[in-house]
Amino acid sequence: MAITEHRSRDRIEQESEEVPQSAVRLRTFIIAALLVIVNVHWVVQADGVRHDGVITKLSLTYNAVFTLMLLAGANVLVRRMSRRLALTHAELLVTYTAIFMASSLAGLDILQPLMATITHPFWFASPENNWAEFFPLLPDALTVSEPLVLRDVYEGGATLTNGANVRPWLMPGLLWSGFVCLLFVVMTSMNVIVRKRWMDREKLSFPLVELPLEMATNFSGLFSNRLLWIGFVIAATISLLGGLNHFYPSVPHIEIRAYRGIQIFDSRPWNAVGRIEFGTPPFVLGLGYFLPLPVLFSCWFFYVFTRLQHVVSATVGFEGDARMPYLAEQTFGTYVGIAGMLIINARHHWAKLISGAFRDSGTANDSEEAISYRVAIISGIIAFGLLIAFATVFGMTAWYAVAFFVIYFMTSLVVTRIRAELGPPVHDLPGASPGEILIGLGGTEWVTRQDRALSAMMLWFTRGYRTHPQPVQLEGFKMAERIGSDQRTMLSSMWMSYVIGIATTFWGMLYSYYRWGQATAMIRGEGVHFGNFAYRTLHRWLAVPQGTDWRGIGFVGAGVVFTILLNWGKLTYTWWPLYPVGYALQGGWMMRHIWFPLFVVWLVKTVLLRYGGGNMYRRAAPFFMGLALGEFTMASFWSLYGIAFQRSVWSFWS
């Protein structure tokens, strides 16, 4: 009897220590904040200073995956000692999302190029480039132009602790930080509005959440799987040998990186195909395995299709036009087509949601959302209006500002859709910033000089869309939904990471610039390169009048029509293998690096599903997760080694 009572008491005490796996406690925010600071400094050093093994060119930042792996592994040990002290599944994912969000913010397509935008033309202006002519167009409140400050920033040898060095950055830093927060508010509003439809009704697959979800919810089971360790060891060994070969060329290694093109055809017109890359990075194989089969097929098929367009252009004699076959314009047309279909196909849903949000009829069921639909709509409209006000206060005409931000948020929404439906390991969209679209296609004469200047200044957040914040946020909402966690808590962690990430990035970049000098060999990031790109673009817009590009507009229209036809086939025929989102990736330079491994994964996955069925597909999944984890782990090791010892290291991707 006593033994039974004792066992019952032990069981009750054990159960009282259990914390629901969907719960998030206050201490998690402290842990996440500390890890955000560490990881942002890592991104700043890896991408902005050293540019070895760059982190934010990938859809998943490997620093966030590596940190989650270490945290989840340590959590297993903590859980054996105390269930109450261990982090829950939701807490692990909240921390991961906060790190991922802050890393994307601190990366190569958001705050790092902003730093160059603020100072670059004032330091590099010369009689030869004639940049001084557009100084009056650049708002003083958004830039830093004091000669002594610029000397310290670009030549180094100074310290940020000097108040005189900090003071010039306060006004532009605060204004641009507020601007970034307004962008985030609009993105949040859009994500709240589309979340339920995309996740519950359309049941999009969100392939990029599979790896972090599995590590957070089933770490012990995942890492006890032999197939995972086989994949892990294969990828890690390849990366280890590559890193050792970088230091000791006599060490043999297997070169499977991208960026190693082969000229297959020498004779005209087939030589117009250009150099074809057959690199097979393990992480692309690992992440690509979780892409839907038709989307995998679409990715490599449309790559071949675009190469053939170059052959056709050469055959009919269009070599004189270097832009043929206008892939950037076709891609933008695809984005316009996808955005239009998203709006049209869900028009009844949007109408019901908006009407229900402003009536107490209970038709808008938003109890599970991060914020109510009413708050999302109102805050999104206010933030969008403040962005317009920001632009117009500094000289942009109102109609142009509206068009600029409509194009930007349309593109942002489509990038989010592509990630939710396709989940590519990498993606980008060069040449499709709102300024390049409005001025490049419409011409220069119908916009003011101030419109052109501010468009160039805003290229820092519109040029690439690689590690873009909006899809990261929606993926965080998806992971919270998968484990039954609170969306509001997830959003709170994102806001925390955003604020801390902005402050930490500004501090980290300025500290590095003042110490080593942005224009010296110690800083190998893209700051100077991006500054040249932005202000050479502005100089071209100001110095070289451009008329309306009717041919480019025609290719945009062709992209829209082609996208509509692809979507019609997808909706009409169950066997239709070509998806618009696959075509939308072809205008960037990333697809040329990953088309072949995606083809390999498509082939393997097709065989597995045909001859082994869903059971075989699920059994093989840990192997491919191991490929991604192995490469990400060694990439993290080499990156941290290079930062710690100030050495150039091997890069698995670029």
pLDDT tens, residue by residue, 295-341: 899 999 999 999 999 899 888 877 677 788 899 899 999 999 999 99
Span 100-116, mean pLDDT?
94
Span 133-158, mean pLDDT?
94
**Residue 362: predicted pLDDT:** 53
Tell me the average pLDDT of the chain.
Answer: 91
Say if residue 12's pLDDT is above 50: no
Tokens 């280890």 sit at which residue? 240
pLDDT by residue (tens digit) across 378-414? Answer: 999 999 999 999 999 999 999 999 999 999 999 999 9
**Residue 154: predicted pLDDT:** 94
Span 352-379, mean pLDDT?
82
pTM (predicted TM-score): 0.94
Span 185-214, mean pLDDT?
94
Span 16-21, mean pLDDT?
72
Q: What distance, in Å, lies between the first and last C-alpha atoms of the chain?
A: 69
**Residue 359: predicted pLDDT:** 75
Q: Map residue 262 onto helix, strand or coil.
A: strand
pLDDT by residue (tens digit) across 601-640? Answer: 999 999 999 999 989 999 999 999 999 999 999 999 999 9
Q: Which of 374, 488, 394 is nearest to 448 (CA)?
A: 394
Q: Is 330 exposed, middle or buried (0-12, 13-18, 19+ CB in 10 A)?
A: buried
Span 110-118, mean pLDDT?
93
Distance in angstroms (rounded) separating the CA atoms of residues 418 and 414: 6
Q: Map residue 160 onto helix, strand or coil.
A: coil
Q: Map residue 161 onto helix, strand or coil.
A: coil
In this structure, are residues 629 and 232 in contact, taking their beta carbons and an 8 Å threshold? yes
pLDDT band at residue 591 using 50, 70 and 90 as cut-offs: confident
Say if residue 176's pLDDT is above 70: yes
pLDDT band at residue 6 using 50, 70 and 90 as cut-offs: very low
Structure tokens that stand for 468 in this block: 């873009």
Question: What DSSP designation does 261 have?
Answer: E
% of the chain beyond a pLDDT of 70: 96
pLDDT band at residue 367 using 50, 70 and 90 as cut-offs: confident
% of the chain beyond a pLDDT of 90: 73
Q: Which of 563, 585, 192 is nearest to 350 (CA)?
A: 192
pLDDT band at residue 2 using 50, 70 and 90 as cut-offs: very low
Say if residue 16's pLDDT is above 60: no
> Residue 633: how many CA atoms within 13 Å on its side-chain side?
19
In this structure, are residues 98 and 28 in contact, taking their beta carbons and an 8 Å threshold? no
H-type alpha helices, 443-549: 449-457, 469-482, 487-516, 527-543
Q: Which of 546, 608, 635, 549 is nearest to 246 (CA)?
A: 635
Q: Is 485 exposed, middle or buried (0-12, 13-18, 19+ CB in 10 A)?
A: buried
> Residue 148 contacts by C-beta under 8 Å, 6 or more apart in sequence?
none
Cα separations in angstroms, 626 against 209, 223, 231, 254, 629: 15, 9, 4, 18, 5
DSSP H or E run through 416: helix 398-421
**Residue 10: predicted pLDDT:** 41
Q: Pick 409 or 273 by higher pLDDT.
A: 409
Of the segments 65-69, 433-437, 483-487, 549-553, which one has the largest average pLDDT value?
Answer: 65-69
**Residue 258: predicted pLDDT:** 66
**Residue 349: predicted pLDDT:** 83
**Residue 5: predicted pLDDT:** 41
Say if residue 136's pLDDT is above 50: yes
Distance in angstroms (rounded) separating the CA atoms of residues 377 and 380: 5
Q: Which residues of 396-414 are buried (b: 16+ CB within 10 A; e: fewer)?
A: bbeebbbbbbebbbbbbbb
Q: Give the start-to-end residue ranges of the domains of the chain.
A: 25-645
Say if residue 245's pLDDT is above 70: yes
pLDDT by residue (tens digit) across 436-480? Answer: 999 999 999 899 999 999 999 999 999 889 889 999 999 999 999
Beta strands 261-263 and 275-277 are antiparallel
Task: Give the CA-trace dihedral at 409, 101, 598, 221, to 10 degrees.
Answer: -140
> Considering just the CA atoms, what is the radius of gyration of the chain in Å?
25
**Residue 654: predicted pLDDT:** 66
Say if residue 17's pLDDT is above 70: no
